[in-house]
């Protein structure tokens, strides 16, 4: 499992502390290890089709007790239907091992799924549902027809009563009315009995389906709980905790599916078990991007927050790890662009928060409160991502804030962003519609989700192409989190990440995205006003 480098690494400097798995630039030794791993993957022709669909791999540079440096390799999930392959570290727990409780119980749950599907799709059940629907339609039609006939008969009786008939005729008219009412009651009762019989047959099958569903849910939960206890994770201090213990104090309370199967935990577990000292770690994507996410072949990625965050917080205890940097570091000071009695516009530099976050980092709201102590209302009307620079509106009165918020809500505010994208974009103009939602396992990243995502619409116009990059103008019609970044980078969007995008592309000095212009109706004067701050890139 421990691989020696094929070429001399005498010229490489060893890292003095482990890089932070959630924020790093790959160490040269990790890049060398990744190249050797990629060469190995290319040799395994039988995996070509599976790998082309996309998978995350990881490498961990380590030092053994004798001081020799080598590396470990791992993959996320399973590969070719197995968790164990000679070149890679083993899983923390091999649930796919023949005879393991997981496979046995999984087969039983799969059998429940088949039983449910058989009952739901069986001809008898479907025929019952169709018959009930048709019968209810027929019932409504017949009862409506009977009531219509009764209304006609009633009108005729009322006409005869106005003729002052004799007593026998009046008695006959009363009996006729009573008979019609009784007939309607008998008709309703007849249909009610018939429908009750059909519903009883349907209920019998539906109750069996629901019983199987409840059994499936209970057995699945029990299986997951048992599986989580089997994942016993080490750290550098020799402490062992299972997944259930690790996730118990987190907001979600229970481990998400797939927890403990990512590359980073596998690598660290093997290192601790074999007295290897972790020196540097990196993960890279191989193959096509998943439909909802943005992954680029060969690019390095940080560990995911949702699954690996709590796990690595435990596993890294006892190691000297680089702290996660505070990204809230403004590259310049805010600049006032416009000001009157009701509103102001300010230039927000890249690296500055719009509103205060979890850290003590300064924000535009802090700046505004200090400059406008007499202002009423929330001040900040809208937000820009911390990594994005550009024009930000402030409302100095509560009324102005409400008015501007309404303009944003009704999409009458026009915004133009300027960005540099990696690569050439065609066609030169267009519209992108990709619904977005948070990536629940890797916040703050966003995912494309046509089913559960919120509508996100962006229009764009190519301005120029130079030195391998496209200068582009974005006109967002909605304001979703990371909308422009995802619409630029996603394969179903422009398939060209914004330069410097650490989340969806390749990290750089800064994200080259700038909110250049905003146009709106002045909340006090009613005049149409535009405020612009040209990009400095």
Instruction: Say if CB 163 and CB 147 are below 8 A apart.
Output: no
Nearest to 6 by CA among 29, 36, 28, 44: 36
| Residue 289 CB partners (closer than 8 Å, separation 6+) | 54, 295, 296, 490, 491
Residue ranges of E strands in 243-348: 277-286, 300-301, 335-339, 343-348
- Which tokens in the block code for residue 427? 């066609």
Using the structure block, give the residue that is written with the tokens 């006109």. 475
Alpha carbon 53 to its chain's center = 20
Of the residues 242, 385, 403, 439, which is catalytic? Answer: 385
State the DSSP H helix or E strand holding residue 245, giving kind and residue range, or none if neither. helix 243-247
Sign of the Cα pseudo-torsion (7, 13, 18, 22, in order)? negative
State the DSSP H helix or E strand holding residue 52, giving kind and residue range, or none if neither. helix 48-52
Instruction: Say if CB 55 and CB 39 are below 8 A apart.
Output: no
Please give the Cα distance from 61 to 359 (Å, whole number).
Answer: 32
Please give the Cα distance from 521 to 537 (Å, whole number).
Answer: 29
Cα–Cα distances (Å) from 457 to 386, 436, 460, in that order, read: 21, 10, 10
Please give the Cα distance from 420 to 466 (Å, whole number).
Answer: 10
Long-range pairs, 445-451, Cβ under 8 A, ≥24: 445/293, 445/294, 445/482, 445/503, 445/504, 446/480, 446/481, 446/482, 446/483, 446/485, 446/486, 447/292, 447/293, 448/291, 448/292, 448/293, 448/486, 448/490, 448/492, 449/292
- The answer to whether residue 527 is catalytic is no
**Which of the residues are catalytic?**
385
């Amino acid at each position: 499992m421990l691989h020696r480098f094929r070429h001399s690494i005498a010229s490489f400097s060893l890292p003095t502390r482990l890089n932070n798995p959630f924020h790093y630039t790959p160490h040269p030794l990790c890049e060398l290890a990744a190249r050797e791993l990629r060469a190995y993957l290319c040799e395994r022709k039988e995996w070509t089709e599976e790998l082309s669909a996309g998978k995350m791999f990881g490498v961990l540079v380590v030092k053994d007790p004798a001081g020799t440096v080598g590396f470990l390799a791992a993959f996320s999930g399973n590969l070719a239907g197995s968790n164990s392959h000679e070149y890679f570290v083993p899983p923390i727990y091999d649930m796919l091992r023949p005879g393991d409780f997981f496979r046995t119980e999984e087969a039983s749950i799969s059998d429940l799924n088949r039983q449910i599907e058989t009952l739901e799709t069986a001809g008898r059940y479907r025929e019952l549902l169709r018959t009930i629907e048709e019968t209810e339609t027929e019932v409504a039609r017949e009862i409506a027809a009977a009531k219509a006939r009764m209304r006609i008969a009633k009108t005729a009786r009322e006409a005869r009563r106005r003729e002052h008939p004799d007593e026998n005729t009046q008695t006959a008219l009363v009996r006729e009315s009573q008979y019609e009412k009784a007939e309607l009651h008998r008709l309703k009762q007849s249909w009610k009995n018939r429908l009750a019989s059909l519903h009883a047959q349907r209920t019998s099958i539906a109750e069996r389906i629901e019983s199987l569903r409840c059994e499936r849910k209970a057995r699945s939960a029990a299986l997951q709980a048992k599986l989580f206890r089997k994942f016993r994770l080490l750290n550098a201090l020799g402490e062992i905790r299972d997944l259930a213990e690790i996730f118990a104090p987190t907001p979600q309370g229970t481990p998400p599916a797939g927890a403990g199967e990512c590359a980073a935990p596998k690598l660290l577990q093997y290192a601790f078990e074999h007295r290897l000292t972790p020196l540097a770690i990196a993960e890279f994507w191989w193959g096509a991007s998943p439909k909802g996410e943005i992954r680029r072949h060969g690019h390095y990625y940080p560990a995911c927050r949702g699954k690996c965050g709590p796990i690595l917080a435990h596993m890294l205890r006892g190691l000297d790890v680089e702290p996660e940097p505070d990204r809230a570091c403004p590259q310049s000071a805010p600049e006032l662009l416009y000001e009157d009695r009701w509103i102001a516009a300010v230039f927000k530099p890249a690296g500055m928060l719009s509103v205060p976050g979890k850290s003590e980092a300064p924000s535009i709201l802090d700046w505004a409160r200090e400059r406008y102590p007499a202002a009423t209302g929330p001040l900040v009307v809208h937000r820009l991502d911390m990594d994005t620079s550009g024009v930000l509106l402030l409302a100095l009165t509560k009324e102005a804030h409400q008015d501007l918020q309404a303009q944003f809500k009704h999409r009458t505010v026009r915004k133009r962003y300027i960005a540099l994208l990696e690569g050439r974009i065609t066609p030169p103009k267009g519209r992108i519609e990709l619904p977005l939602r948070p990536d629940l396992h890797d916040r703050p990243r966003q995912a494309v989700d046509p089913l559960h995502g919120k509508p996100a619409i962006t229009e764009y116009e190519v301005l120029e192409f130079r030195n391998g990059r496209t200068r582009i103008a974005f006109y967002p019609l909605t304001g979703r989190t990371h909308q422009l970044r995802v619409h630029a980078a996603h394969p179903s969007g422009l398939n060209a990440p914004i330069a410097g995008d650490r989340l969806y592309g390749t990290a750089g000095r800064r994200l080259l995205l700038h909110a250049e212009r905003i146009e709106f109706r002045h909340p006090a004067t009613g005049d149409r006003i535009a405020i612009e701050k040209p990009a400095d890139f």
